[in-house]
Amino acid sequence: MKDIHVVGAIIVENGKILCAQRGNGKSLPNLWEFPGGKIEKGETPQEALLRELEEELMIEVDVSANQFELTKYDYDFGRVHLTTFLCMLTKGRPKLTEHRQVKWLAPSELNKLDWAPADIPAVEKLMSGGIS
């Protein structure tokens, strides 16, 4: 099984978290995720996250040094290793380039969305007070 290393941003602003819905043309269409993407050769996870957020949402963030959650999930296309980081939005407002939509939700509201399986452990941690 192919190993795919990806990062996701838990962007917090005014007590709410940015949630992004995957586009129709991507794997896992229409499921919700923490925005981010693949780590490229030679990148640290934090560098990959900064690059992906600038490319996909045209925003800049401060990334925490420590990972929030590390998840492994076996999909039919490979084993995804997802590392999420808490982030603070520092520049711009999210613009849709690859996602269908974004929403800002309180941690207690996160279970209202249909999340990609690899993101669910971080969602559960956030809902149980992970960013108090």
Residue 108 pLDDT > 80, yes or no? yes
Residue 53 pLDDT > 60, yes or no? yes
Identify the CATH assignment for 3-127 out of 3.30.70.20, 3.30.1330.60, 3.90.79.10, 3.40.50.720: 3.90.79.10
pLDDT bin (cut points 50, 70, 90) of residue 132 is low
pLDDT bin (cut points 50, 70, 90) of residue 27 is confident
Give the DSSP letter of residue 40: P
Q: How far is CA 51 from the centre of its chain?
A: 13
The reported pTM is 0.94
Residue 60 φ then ψ, to 5° = -120, 145
Span 69-85, mean pLDDT? 96
Burial zone of 105 (CB within 10 Å; 0-12 exposed, 13-18 middle, 19+ buried): middle
User: For the chain, what are the domain ranges?
Assistant: 3-127
